[in-house]
């Protein structure tokens, strides 16, 4: 089992969580755990409560949430944002990200998946 736990937002394909789990990663999609329809803020609170980094394609809203958390000195376990890209590229970048980071290295950070091309 790998160190970083991922919580995938509604706009990320559920297939990513399945493929990551098949490779030994701790990854969950909101659909799999019955949390669809929740606000971005509620999703982030859930991720924090369960000590997971959240991954989303909803870049704009999560940048705002990241700033808000920082200003309020609230803690989170990482916010990973990515533009919509083909699945194979998303998987490749996600695997590169996961293999080059630790839970501690992403704590309270906004991470751009495009940096893992």
* Domain spans of the chain, in order of start: 5-116
Question: Which helix (H) or strand (E) element contains residue 6?
Answer: strand 5-8
Tell me, what's the pLDDT at 2? 61
Q: 5-116: which CATH topology?
A: Rossmann fold (3.40.50)
| pTM score | 0.95
- Cα distances from 63 to residues 70, 98, 109, in angstroms, run 11, 20, 10
Total H helices, total E strands in the chain: 5, 5
Bridging pattern class, strands 79-81 and 110-112: parallel
What's the token pair of residue 88? 């194979």
Q: What's phi and psi for 53, nearest 5 deg?
A: -80, 145
The model's pLDDT over 47-105, given as tens digits with 9 standing for 90+, comes to 999 999 999 999 999 999 999 999 999 999 999 999 999 999 999 999 999 999 999 99
């Amino acid at each position: 089992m790998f160190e970083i736990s991922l919580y995938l937002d509604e706009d990320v394909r559920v297939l990513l969580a399945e493929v990551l789990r098949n490779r030994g990663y701790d990854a969950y999609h909101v659909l799999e755990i019955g949390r669809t329809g929740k606000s971005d803020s509620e999703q982030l609170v859930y991720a924090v409560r369960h000590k997971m980094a959240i991954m989303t394609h909803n870049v704009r809203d999560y940048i705002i949430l990241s700033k808000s958390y920082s200003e309020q000195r609230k803690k989170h376990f990482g916010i990973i944002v990515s533009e919509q890209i083909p699945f194979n590229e998303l998987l490749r970048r996600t695997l590169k990200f996961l293999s080059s980071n630790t839970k501690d290295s992403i704590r309270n950070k906004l991470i751009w998946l495009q940096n893992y091309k």
